[in-house]
Chains A and B, each alone.
Chain A
Amino acid sequence: MANLGKQYQDGEVIVRQDDTGNCMFVIQKGEVEAVIETDGRKLRLRKMGANEFFGEMALFEKETRTCTIRAIGPTHVLTIDKKNFLKGIHEDPSLAFRIVKTMSHRIRDLTDRLAKYEEDRP
């Protein structure tokens, strides 16, 4: 019995903020946290678990990584190549449906957080 992907230990960085990337990742087992560093402060954005993905923006744009992703405990993560993904999309555009759906959820979540932040601001 085995897990696919690469194993990361607790606290190990999988993706580093401001690095360039050309792949996304799907968590096979375990948990990760997304941390953004701004003005010397570290903010935890969210935790993600098995079957969730991160780093998807690198598939669509050539910008740097927006945050750091770190393993929480032993974690297995599978890399999705940009080339393989885009080939798949070319043959079957519905392959992107789940990613679009998740990105939509994340935009909604950010909008809610922003609204709350504006409300709470003195």
Chain B
Amino acid sequence: MPDLSPTLQDGSRIAVIGGGPAGSMFSYFLLNMADAVALDVSVDMFEPRRFCHRGPAGCNHCGGVVSESLVQRLATEGIILPEDVVQRGIESYTLHMDVGDVEIATPLMEKRIAAIYRGNGPRHSEPLDTESFDGFLLQKAQEKGANVIRRLVTDMSREGERMRVRCADEFCDDYDLVVLATGVNSRLMEVLEDQAQEFTRPERTKTFICEFRIGRDVIKKHFGPSMHVFLLDIPRLEFAALIPKGDYVTLCLLGDDIDDDLMRQFFDSPEVANCFPGGIIPSHVCHCFPRINIKAAQPAYGERVVMIGDSGATRLFKDGIGAAYRTAKAAAKTAVFHGIDADSFKTHYAPLCRKIHNDNKMGKVVFGFGSLVQKARFARRGVLRMTANEQKQVSAPRRMSGVLWDLFSGSASYTDVFLRTLHPVYIGSLLWNLMVSNLPGNAATKNPVAGVECDRAKH
């Protein structure tokens, strides 16, 4: 019997709703693959925002870090992040705790993590000779042949064998496939959940992101090419980082519904204040409380519909742009090589979403351990001592440093990170460091071995 499941044909039309990294990468890879198999399809990308604007009008509200693994994968794909997109190359993480600080260097001593702006810089910033990361990817998709439509999609529905997309200005058009890449802060996801009982939109939590204007030279001196992360005993705070970029430093707080009380505790911490010149935290010039996806949409596909990036499945707290790349490419491969019906997406796309979802469950366990360390001062001392000693050694395996690096950077899966913590040598070394660092005399003060210099002019 012939296979009657719908597939993309010459002349098929695809609507991609959202021109962020997921939408742009889907369009780029789909058009690339279609070209390779001589399939003539058209892609319309609906994106009302112009990423050349500064402040909220051009921003997709995110910390703006492209992980080490994604930088490498994009480079392998032939997508090099241009100099004007990369605000700063990150080559180390500095972990700040009440018991001391430690700098964890990148494994190969090279800049492998990119600090970027999703838009064109913070509100009220001067015109910059920089380019938005989202704008750069959108341009890549356009170069492949995607057509960008500056309209806001407010609704979509099934019309016979096709999908109808409606916009706020009453424009509507029919497509063979609709790809949802709106992120989780879009009203469209709520509309779809109300329409379809079988669909549950992603679960979300509130985060906090703000920008401090500090100046390039001061940033170089006080922050260097290092991302500063904090392990503080503040309930509900899972991750906090200061990310240096050009003239600004971005603060990113992730956790369980970040609120004023949590933020006050964070800003009152001396470990945070000590990162800034003179120990004074300046006023921020731009801030937002974006929501992030903490549980995937169910299901992240339907008949002639697929959800990618934050709209579908993403990694817990880390590497959201990396997850956008992975889901976008998997959805594009499914559409070009298998089909655009629900069964095709279930067979070829859903396994990746499940993999991400299952890894996030492991991520919750890993962050659970992290919370225990946050709460226990003796554990923080052990972690600090073990990491600092590893950083002084050149050739010995850096087990704790590797675990922390991958946890902060999102470069490895949570499952991989967790499995490495079960290694007997890791456990033995941690126990030894816990014991030694908490001996009377060692435990009384900040660990001088681990302390990093405030003046980072060496970079």
Interface residues of A in 1-45 (CB under 8 A from B): 1-6, 26, 28-29
List of A residues within 8 angstroms of B352 by Cβ? 91
Q: Are A80 and B75 in contact (CB under 8 A)?
A: yes
Q: Mark A96-122, 1 if CB is under 8 A from B, else 0.
A: 001100000000000000000000000
Indicate whether A61 reaches chain B with its CB closer than 8 angstroms.
no
Partner of A98, one of B77, B89, B110, B130: B77
Is chain A's binding surface mostly helix, strand, loop or mixed?
Answer: mixed
Is chain B's binding surface mostly helix, strand, loop or mixed?
Answer: mixed
Q: How many chain A residues have a CB neighbour from B under 8 Å?
A: 25
Indicate whether A57 reaches chain B with its CB closer than 8 angstroms.
no
Q: Are A84 and B72 in contact (CB under 8 A)?
A: yes
Contacts A80-B75, A88-B73, A98-B76: A5 and B86 contacting too (C-beta < 8 A)? no
List of A residues within 8 angstroms of B110 by Cβ? 4-6, 78-79
Partner of A88, one of B68, B76, B129: B76
Indicate whether B419 reaches chain A with its CB closer than 8 angstroms.
no
List of B residues within 8 angstroms of A51 by Cβ? 78, 80
Stretch at the interface among B326-334, B376-384, B425-433, B438-446: B326-334
A30 to nearest B CB, angstroms?
12
Q: Mark A76-92, 1 if CB is under 8 A from B, else 0.
A: 00111100110010011
A-B contact count (CB 8 A): 85
Q: Are B73 and A78 in contact (CB under 8 A)?
A: no
Q: Are B130 and A99 in contact (CB under 8 A)?
A: no
Q: Are A26 and B83 in contact (CB under 8 A)?
A: no
Q: How many chain B residues have a CB neighbour from A under 8 Å?
A: 34
Alpha-carbon gap, A26 to B74, bound state (A): 10
List of B residues within 8 angstroms of A53 by Cβ? 75-76
Return the chain A residue nearest B337 by Cβ: A94
List of B residues within 8 angstroms of A79 by Cβ? 72, 108, 110, 112
Q: Are B84 and A1 in contact (CB under 8 A)?
A: yes
Contacts A80-B72, A95-B73: A1 and B130 contacting too (C-beta < 8 A)? yes
Q: Are B80 and A50 in contact (CB under 8 A)?
A: yes
Q: Are A5 and B111 in contact (CB under 8 A)?
A: yes
Return the chain A residue nearest B416 by Cβ: A87
Indicate whether B114 reaches chain A with its CB closer than 8 angstroms.
yes
Interface residues of B in 399-453 (CB under 8 A from A): 411
List of B residues within 8 angstroms of A3 by Cβ? 83, 86, 89, 111
Tell me which of B73, B76, B112, B129 has the highest count of chain A C-beta atoms within 10 A of its own C-beta.
Answer: B76
Return the chain A residue nearest B85 by Cβ: A1
Contacts A94-B333, A95-B73: A78 and B86 contacting too (C-beta < 8 A)? no
Q: Are B83 and A2 in contact (CB under 8 A)?
A: yes
Indicate whether B71 reaches chain A with its CB closer than 8 angstroms.
yes
B108 to nearest A CB, angstroms?
5
List of A residues within 8 angstroms of B129 by Cβ? 1
List of A residues within 8 angstroms of B89 by Cβ? 2-5
List of A residues within 8 angstroms of B374 by Cβ? none
Alpha-carbon gap, A5 to B83, bound state (A): 11
Return the chain A residue nearest B225 by Cβ: A2
A69 to nearest B CB, angstroms?
15
Contacts A4-B81, A26-B76, A98-B78: A78 and B88 contacting too (C-beta < 8 A)? no
Q: Are B76 and A29 in contact (CB under 8 A)?
A: no
Q: Are A91 and B83 in contact (CB under 8 A)?
A: no
Which chain A residues have a beta carbon within 8 Å of chain B's beta carbons?
Answer: 1-6, 26, 28-29, 50-51, 53, 78-81, 84-85, 88, 91-92, 94-95, 98-99
Q: List 10 A-B contacts (CB under 8 A).
A: A4-B71, A5-B111, A6-B111, A78-B112, A79-B72, A81-B72, A84-B69, A95-B76, A98-B76, A99-B76
The 8 closest A-B CB pairs, nearest first, are A6-B110, A26-B75, A2-B89, A2-B86, A4-B89, A80-B72, A1-B83, A4-B111
